[in-house]
Structure 1
Amino acid sequence: MRVLVAIAILGVGAALGGAAVNYWPDSHAHVAAAAETASGERDILYYRHPHNPSVTSPEPRKDEMGMDFIPIYAGGGDAAAPGTVSISPVVQQNMNVRIGSVVRGDLARLVETVGFVDYDESSLSHVHLRTQGWIEDLTVRTTGERVEEGQLLFRLYSPELVNAQEELLHIVRRGGSAAPARERLRALGVSAAEIAEVERAGEPRRLVSIRARQGGVVESLNVREGMYVTPGTEVMTIADLSRVWVMADLFEHQVDAVTRDDAAHVKLPFRPGERLEGKVDYIYPSLNSPTRTVRVRLAFDNPGERLKPGMYADVHLASRPLQGVLHLPAEAVIRTGRQDRVILALGEGRFQAREVQVGSRANGDLEIIDGLQEGERVVLSGHFLLDSEASASAELGRMLEAAEEEVGDEVWAEGRLLSIDLKARMVNVDHEPIPVLGWPAMVMDFAVADDLELDGLREDMAMRFRMHEREEFVYEITAIEPAAHDH
């Protein structure tokens, strides 16, 4: 038999699976159809269900509610090409179609993310001892306390320090060279001022004073009064908050847009309208596998200590602009996950879908790497409905070509048996593409011939099957055999 155009159109509906939503108002569509048919200017390609574009017919018909199917026209020239549709100005207005241009110019890139405030590790002062002993006269009691440079933190009783002082005094009394003894005390952490005071007093000090080397706040405190400590003990950590870091995470596609020393600013959610200026200090060399992000470190001066470690902040990174690139508003691009495309406005109510390759995004615009030329016009709004119609038109063109092939009364195909209804003698099959019918791969229900035994069939079985058209659009399986790779 010769496969009719109707079979090809049925394949289109099954392949598209209701991907589009019919927006065209019936009244305008029928008025336009009558006028254009009377003039004889355009040919009708097929008829579409008024509310379900996946249902089509090669001939005029009515739906289940008695409404006429809508004729779809070939507009001649480009309009008849697959993927091209033509609509009237009235329909364009009802769809709120807006059109913009592809332009060439500089594309300023602004990366927006979130981050958190952290200590500047280069401004942390860790207090360790160089000998063992006991903590006495501890002046810092809790974390978060503020200390000043040179402030007494605690005093230390250490027998080793007492012995080193006595050795120094013994050498001084004998008139020998005291330089090695002084150097030993300095190596044990005793300040030059305290060493001079010991020599002046002529007797060792039982308690040695430990003072802050910088001002700041106590970030950690690991000792209490009277504790015994060793050189391995970190007594406390003092953080200078006059300069802080902001740690931000960037996704993989954002990393190339950021370089060291790029300008950065942060906004605090609880201080609307206020922003602090800084710069990119470091981009970490490795990717965090669980989050698929790269960490970036930003450095900020912190007058008044408004940025406090642990705070969240909105981060904005202004990288160098891309120069002389094609770009268009991001809203014009339809992103499906498999493909990026736009709807070209060809003029005179004609539109065509075109695949594009996009690059960087900045300030609501997208870089176009391939697929468009400067000056071409694209649809900014209403394009999803146009895209659905253009996709149907392109698929129809492919199916109509396949429909012209001559095929026999019976067709063999391959697929996988998903389910069996013994009572109704129906099977559900996920079949591979059937080129002679113009069918793509899809899941379908088939009737089974009365003389075909079903006892040996099982679900998830890979099989070859023979079918023939029992009635219009209804196919019946007449033979089934296991596929060679089925086990």
Structure 2
Amino acid sequence: MKLKPSVIGVILLVVTAAGGYGLYHLGMKNGMNMAGPAGGPPSAAKAQPGGNVDPATGSKVLYWHDPMVPGQKFDKPGKSPFMDMQLVPVYADEVSDDGSVSISPRVQQNLGIRVAEVTSESLAPKVEAVGSIAYNERDVALVQARAAGYLEKLFVRAPLDPVKKGQALAALYVPDWIAAQEEYLAAKRMRGTAPEGLVDASRQRMRLAGMTDEQIRLVAASGRTQPRVTITAPISGVVSELTAREGMTVESGAPLFKLNGVTTVWVNANVPESLAAHVRLGNMVEARTTALPGTVLKGKVSAILPQVDETTRTLNARVEIANPGNNLVPGMFATVNFTPTVRSAALTVPSESVIQTGKRSVVMVLLGEGKFKPAEVEVGIESNGRTEIVKGLEAGQQVVVSGQFLIDSESSLRATETRMGDAGPSTTEAKPVDATHRGQGKIESVGKEEITISHGPIQSVQWPAMTMGFKVPPGTSSYPVAVGDNVNFRFKQTKEGVFEIVDIVKGDHSSMAGMKEDKK
């Protein structure tokens, strides 16, 4: 049987009406807003069922806000007029007068928040410095000519040549010794007939000429004059300075060689000025150098120079260490670990839990039941990942080790909002709707109801540089701008919280002068 078109139309109309009623009834049952699309402006959004109480959590909602513009509050949920996002509710149980902040266990897990206990333990700062090796200037011998003469032979010919104690360095011919020695030998031969004391007087004359007792005994034993003398090394080491050359004439007291011992060396360690208080004379140290991998050299602080380098802000600590095998030579770099006095009964926390702001140090303390509160502390020394707490905490308290920056930011924001609320309603209200603001930017898109502009920072509303849409006033046909134009514009905030264009012109900053003055 075929149905007439009129009958088919009636059936479709009945089905459509029934379906529409069912959808409407289902929407009202589930709390859907059928009056308009979701995400509309706050003024168009309806309040939550049961007043300002979130049915999902059962908590009372104080207000809604945009986290990017926390000073602006709204009494209804909806889409932010500042950013392309939904407003965020602020619950009554999250705001505390003491600056604490509550975070649910689920959010704590998502943020990766970890806590650690404040403990009391012995703590010693780790003082490490880098220095260079130098000769021990306390182990130096200077070899001079004891009498005027001629340098006939030089056995050590180059600086930094190694020498041993007693090794021959040079041979010197001294003509002035011949007369004194001849007189001594003659007095000795006339011992029976010469006046008493003549031999002793001639021996004293040889001493005054610069001869040593050993050389005088050699003259007496051989019975011959000894005009040549061999100069030997008084210590083992290296020739750090050489001023003698073969054939030269030398005067009495002229320096010929400077010898440096190498059994011990110095490490001139550059200790930072901030750690200088932990370095003391006599402190035992450990030194390491790449020239001797795996070898730990023991030593002690022999001197702390009373001068700070103005460029590096370091103090020079002179460390004396042994030189096994004479392998350490000047110029090598060495790392020195000082061992300062160990402190006892110091409260410590993990160093990563301390937030350094430049003017103060803050840690986030766990109060229990998901509540956290910032605490200002006074820190001391730091060693092995632990920081000493001089003031501000007690043993057994729990501090946040990770995620503390997010908690600190949220706590500061909540405290600021609480103070704003206590100051009176005038501090939380938005600026008058007739106040206008100026901006500069570039047109991204032009529509009938909205113009999107990428603008720079706007100080009057404390906005950073960003891209956002501005409403076109009702009844405005168009503006003489196009996509890509650089523009100067003025805008204001309407009663509904929407930012609306007042006027807009193309051009650089100088064209702002052509705009109308702001309304007072």
Aligned-pair distance for 1:95?
2.5
The TM-score normalised by the length of structure 2 is 0.65
CA distance in 2, matches of 1:201, 1:369: 81
| 1:380 equivalent in structure 2 | 401
Instruction: Rate the CA distance shift 1:148–1:90 in 2: closer, same or farther, 3 A.
Output: same
Query: Is 1:218 the counterpart of 2:239 in the alignment?
Result: yes
3-state SS of the aligned residue for 1:121?
Answer: coil
Q: Distance in 1 between matches of 2:257 and 2:415?
A: 72
**1:326 matches 2:347:** yes
Distance in 2, Cα, partners of 1:163 & 1:207: 13
* Greater Cα shift, 367-376 or 162-171: 162-171
The 5 Å alignment of 1:246-325 reads 246-325=267-346
Alignment of structure 1 residues 38-117 onto 2, 5 Å: 38-41=56-59, 43-44=61-62, 47-49=65-67, 53=68, 57-59=72-74, 60=77, 62=79, 66-75=84-93, 80-81=96-97, 83-117=99-133
1:280-304 Cα deviation digits (max 9, x unpaired): 2222233333322221122212221
Q: State TM-score, norm by structure 1.
A: 0.69
* Residues in 2 aligned to 1:302 and 1:35: alpha-carbon distance in whole angstroms: 79
Structural mapping, 1:404-423, within 5 Å: 404=425
Alpha-carbon distance in structure 1 between the residues aligned to 2:427 and 2:117: 45
Distance 1:66 1:241, change over 3 A: same
User: For structure 1, which runs of at least 5 residues remain unmatched after alignment?
Assistant: 1-33, 411-420, 422-427, 432-436, 444-468, 480-487
Kindly tell me: are residues 137 and 395 of structure 1, through their superposed partners in 2, closer, same or farther at Cα, counting changes over 3 Å?
A: farther
Q: Which amino acid aligns with 1:278?
A: G
Q: Secondary structure at the match of 2:138?
A: helix
> Which string of whole-angstrom CA distances, capped at 9 and with x for unpartnered residues, describes residues 133-166 of structure 1?
4322111112222211111100223444455545
Report the CA distance shift for 1:181/1:281 in structure 2 as closer, same or farther (over 3 A).
Answer: farther
**Would the alpha carbon gap of residues 204 and 387 (structure 1) be closer, same or farther in structure 2, given more than 3 Å must change?**
farther
The corresponding residue for 1:153 is 169
- In structure 2, what is the equivalent of residue 338 of structure 1? 359
- CA apart distance, 1:336: 2.6
Instruction: From the CA coordinates, give the structure whose radius of gyration is larger.
Output: 2
Q: How does 1:383-462 map to 2 (within 5 A)?
A: 383-404=404-425
SS in 2 for 1:256: helix
Residue 424 of structure 1 corresponds to: none
Greater RCO structure (CA 8 Å; 6+ sep)? 1
Distance apart, 1:200 and its partner CA: 3.0
- Farther off after superposition, 108-117 or 286-295: 286-295
Q: Which amino acid aligns with 1:358?
A: V
Q: Which residue of 2 aligns with 1:9?
A: none
Counterpart position of 1:447: none
Could you say what the CA RMSD is over the residues aligned between the two structures, in angstroms? 4.2
Q: Among all aligned residue pairs of Structure 1 and Structure 2, give the percentage whose two residues are the same amino acid.
A: 35
CA–CA separation in structure 1 for the residues paired with 2:314 and 2:173: 50
Deviation at 1:215, TM superposition (A): 1.1
Q: Separation in 1 of the partners of 2:270 and 2:296?
A: 19
State the distance in 2 between where 1:317 and 1:55 align: 51
- The 2-side partners of 1:309 and 1:246 are apart by 9
Structure 1 residue identity aligned to 2:335? D
Q: Of the candidates 205, 210, 213, which is equivalent to residue 192 of structure 1?
A: 213
**Equivalent residue for 2:39?**
none
Q: CA deviation at 1:84?
A: 2.6
Supply the AA of the counterpart residue of 1:57.
Q
- Give the alignment partner of residue 158 of structure 2, picking from 139, 142, 145: 142
Give the Cα separation in 1 of the matches to 2:424 and 2:255: 82
Map 1:460-479 onto structure 2 (within 5 A). none
Residue pair 2:64, 2:87 contacting (<8 A) in 1 also: no
Distance 1:36 1:249, change over 3 A: farther
Cα deviation code 1:200-250 (max 9, x no counterpart) = 334433322211101112222233222334456432222221112212121
Partner-residue secondary structure (3-state), 1:67:
coil
